[in-house]
């Protein structure tokens, strides 16, 4: 067999993918992965150009499961392949659902990132699973913890590569599981390392293209963070949410402002205004006299 040649092994995946893939080809790729004759990242190209569209899901799953055993490179290859399989709005079938769910929360996923497209595939799959209501609370908690792990002090390079896609993924999770998102964010708000808090702020702050729009946590039910603020306070004064308006040209933006805060800066290590900024994304007027919670109502 030609693939046994040492000179041809590096081109094995290209040779296999040159024709119409058959279930036997997938089994061959699995065996080559197991023997170490091909690299996990090479396998993603088999799905490009609709290369796997004609195969039944049960024929693809063995390859995806094998790739998931090969560290970060294999995990990202799985996300790449599944993104290609589902490209164009296809609905994920039941046999396929378990694979990306396991990959997204695998601790090895963020050991490295294969460039910008890796983050894109991550964002697309989280949004797809959320849109199809494929999250239970346990999985949502695990996924939020995984996504927020890029804020860790030791993951500076990973953070800068994935900050945008992770922020978008968290926004998708907010629609269906705000409590789980808030639980993860609240834990990091009290982190001792300023780098962790700064990275968290970057994830949940206002988007650069929409400074008057809502922050990531705008839709958070008030009872969640109010109870948390009271529980964690040591000193403080009453919390009062008041309405106000600010005119911008011909458009009127509606805001909710904070006059007083019961949130303790001593207990959190941050100022009340900083917490308000974390929660919802605040907008400061040009005169610098008003901090207010920006809503996207026009």
pLDDT reported for residue 104:
95
Q: Is 255 helix (H, G, I), strand (E, B) or coil?
A: strand
Do 140 and 133 contact (CB within 8 A), yes or no?
no
pLDDT reported for residue 212:
58
CATH class of 2-208: mainly alpha
Neighbours of 125 (CB within 10 A): 21
In the chain, which residues fall in CATH 1.25.40?
Answer: 2-208
Q: Regarding beta strands 282-284 and 240-248, do their DSSP bridges make them parallel or antiparallel, or are they unpaired?
A: unpaired
Q: Which of 206, 203, 208, 212 has the alpha carbon at shortest distance from 169? A: 203
Q: Which of 106, 128, 104 has the alpha carbon at shortest distance from 176? A: 128
pLDDT reported for residue 235:
30
pLDDT reported for residue 8:
60
Q: Is 244 helix (H, G, I), strand (E, B) or coil?
A: strand
Residue that has been written with the tokens 């040649």 in this structure? 5
pLDDT block averages, 10 residues each, the chain of length 298: 57 83 93 92 87 87 95 95 82 79 94 88 91 88 96 93 93 90 88 88 71 68 71 40 35 38 41 49 35 32
The C-alpha atoms of residue 261 and residue 279 are separated, in whole angstroms, by 13
Q: Which of 210, 133, 125 has the alpha carbon at shortest distance from 165? A: 125
The C-alpha atoms of residue 225 and residue 280 are separated, in whole angstroms, by 11
Q: Which of 294, 230, 220 has the alpha carbon at shortest distance from 264? A: 230
pTM reported for the whole predicted model: 0.76
Residues recorded for the chain = 298
The C-alpha atoms of residue 207 and residue 282 are separated, in whole angstroms, by 11
């Amino acid at each position: 067999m030609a693939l046994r040649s040492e000179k041809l092994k590096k081109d094995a995946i290209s040779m296999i993918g040159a024709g119409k893939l058959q279930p036997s080809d997938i089994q061959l790729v699995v065996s080559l992965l197991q023997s170490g004759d091909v690299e996990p990242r090479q396998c993603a190209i088999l799905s490009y150009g609709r290369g796997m569209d004609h195969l039944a899901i049960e024929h693809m799953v063995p390859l995806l499961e094998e790739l998931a055993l090969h560290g970060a490179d294999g995990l990202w290859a799985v996300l790449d392949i599944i993104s290609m399989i589902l490209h164009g709005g296809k609905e994920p079938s039941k046999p396929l659902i378990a694979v990306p769910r396991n990959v997204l929360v695998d601790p090895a996923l963020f050991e490295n990132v294969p460039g910008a497209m890796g983050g894109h595939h991550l964002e697309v799959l989280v949004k797809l699973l959320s849109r199809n209501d494929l999250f239970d609370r346990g999985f949502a908690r695990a996924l939020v913890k995984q996504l927020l792990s890029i804020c860790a002090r030791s993951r500076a390079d990973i953070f800068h590569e994935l900050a945008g896609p992770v922020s978008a993924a968290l926004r998708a999770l907010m629609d269906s599981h705000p409590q789980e998102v808030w639980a993860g964010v609240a834990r990091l708000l009290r982190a001792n390392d300023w780098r962790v808090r700064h990275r968290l702020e970057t994830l949940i702050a206002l988007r650069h293209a929409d400074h008057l729009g809502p922050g990531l946590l705008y839709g958070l039910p008030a009872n969640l963070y109010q109870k948390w603020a009271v529980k964690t306070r040591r000193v403080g004064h009453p919390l009062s949410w008041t309405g106000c308006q600010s005119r911008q040209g011909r458009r009127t933006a509606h805001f909710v402002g904070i006059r007083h805060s019961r949130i303790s800066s001593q207990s959190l290590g941050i100022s009340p205004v900083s917490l308000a900024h974390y929660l919802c994304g605040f907008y400061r007027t040009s005169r610098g006299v008003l901090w207010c919670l920006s809503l996207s109502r026009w």
